[in-house]
Amino acid sequence: MAFIRRLRIQPNIVMPLTNQLVKRCITVTAANNESENWLSKLLMVRKIDTGKEAHSRLLSDTDKVYEMHIHDVKPRHKEEYLQNFQAWSNEIQAKSPQIRLVGSWKVEVGDLDQYVHIWGYDGWKQATEVFNLIRADRTLIALEKDQEPFLRSRQNQFMLSFSFWPNPQPQVNNSMYEMRSYVLKPGTMIEWGNNWARGINFRRNNAVAGFFSQIGQLYCVHHLWKYDDLLARREIREAAWRKPGWDECVAYTVPLIREMRTRWMSPNPFSPIK
């Protein structure tokens, strides 16, 4: 009763107090709405009619096939390994002129003492011919045998390129490269492509190539970016967040990912992409 009487005696206290509470409620509500909007984007995976065509036909508009080799090298044998790989690369391109080395890099941050090589073929027929050549040609077999003591492990993967990413062509940028790799949830590749077909427009100046797997680790995506250095990378990535729409690309694609990793790489001296 004393509290009520004091409010009645001093009514001017009630209005400022009420206004403060209203303002605070409005601020909290607005913040909650923003949080809910972002959360709803993050949790919602939009459904797309995938049709009856093969997903690879919907995502890629070229017959070119790419193969990625990832080699983990023993630290004390890095120089011998590179010499051997360059000899093997020259030999196979001499015997199958249509095949081309797209790019070759050394991992500087991430999986150290690792090398990434990407090859390009004019379709599955040529990829099959090269596959058979590697297993039949005595010189190539001998060079591969010489390479074995230098390696800790190796893996490969056949891929197609996304139609909305640039075609990987020989280029000299004097750049560093980042390869961001994603393993997606099965059945979500079309959704990924739908969002990145728009998202790539926010960062096209630094885009080099985008691939998705066909044989090897399935539902795997690789995005290859170029940067002058680590500082430029930070500035470019932060600038993307200031562009309307980039946040939606991220929000809609994050729920599709099961696993992700990044490699910061320098081009090898013989790489067509530098």
Distance CA 65, CA 224 (A): 16
Considering its fold, how many domains does the chain have in total?
A: 1
Q: At what angle do helices 230-241 and 246-253 cross, to 10 degrees?
A: 100
Q: Which of 58-62, 84-88, 199-203, 219-223 has the least mean pLDDT?
A: 58-62
Q: Is residue 238 part of a domain?
A: yes
pLDDT of residue 108: 98
- Please give the distance of CA 29 from its chain centroid, rounded to a whole number: 37
Model confidence at 269, in pLDDT bands (50, 70, 90)?
Answer: very high
Confidence check: pLDDT of 245 > 60: yes
Three-class DSSP category at 138: helix
Tokens representing residue 69 in the block: 């080799």
pLDDT of residue 136: 96
Q: At what angle do helices 138-147 and 78-95 cross, to 10 degrees?
A: 170
Give the predicted TM-score (pTM) of the model: 0.80
User: For the chain, first and last CA: distance in Å?
Assistant: 81
pLDDT of residue 51: 56
Within 189-229, where are the H helices? 189-199
Domain that holds residue 82: 61-267
Q: What percent of the chain has pLDDT over 70?
A: 79
**Which residue would you say has higher pLDDT here, 226 or 40?**
226
Distance CA 151, CA 77 (A): 8
Residue 160, H or E segment:
strand 151-161
Tokens representing residue 247 in the block: 């946040």
**Which residue would you say has higher pLDDT here, 176 or 13?**
176
Q: Is residue 29 part of a domain?
A: no
Q: Is residue 105 part of a domain?
A: yes
How many other C-beta atoms are found inside a 10 Å radius of the C-beta of residue 116?
22
Question: Hey, what amino acid is at 234?
Answer: R
Instruction: Give the residue-averaged pLDDT of 130-138.
Output: 95
239 within 8 A of 206, measured Cβ to Cβ = no
pLDDT digit string, tens, across residues 170-199: 999 999 999 999 999 999 999 999 999 999
Q: Is residue 31 part of a domain?
A: no
Confidence check: pLDDT of 3 > 50: no
Distance CA 53, CA 27 (A): 49
Q: Is residue 69 part of a domain?
A: yes
Q: Is residue 239 part of a domain?
A: yes
pLDDT digit string, tens, across residues 14-46: 444 334 433 444 343 344 444 445 444 444 444
Q: What percent of the chain has pLDDT over 90?
A: 74
pLDDT of residue 42: 43
CB burial of residue 213 (10 Å; 0-12, 13-18, 19+):
buried
Strand 176-184 relative to strand 114-121, pairing? unpaired
Instruction: Give the residue-averaged pLDDT of 152-167.
Output: 95
Q: Is residue 133 part of a domain?
A: yes
Q: What is the CATH number of the domain that holds 82?
A: 3.30.70.100
Q: Is residue 43 part of a domain?
A: no
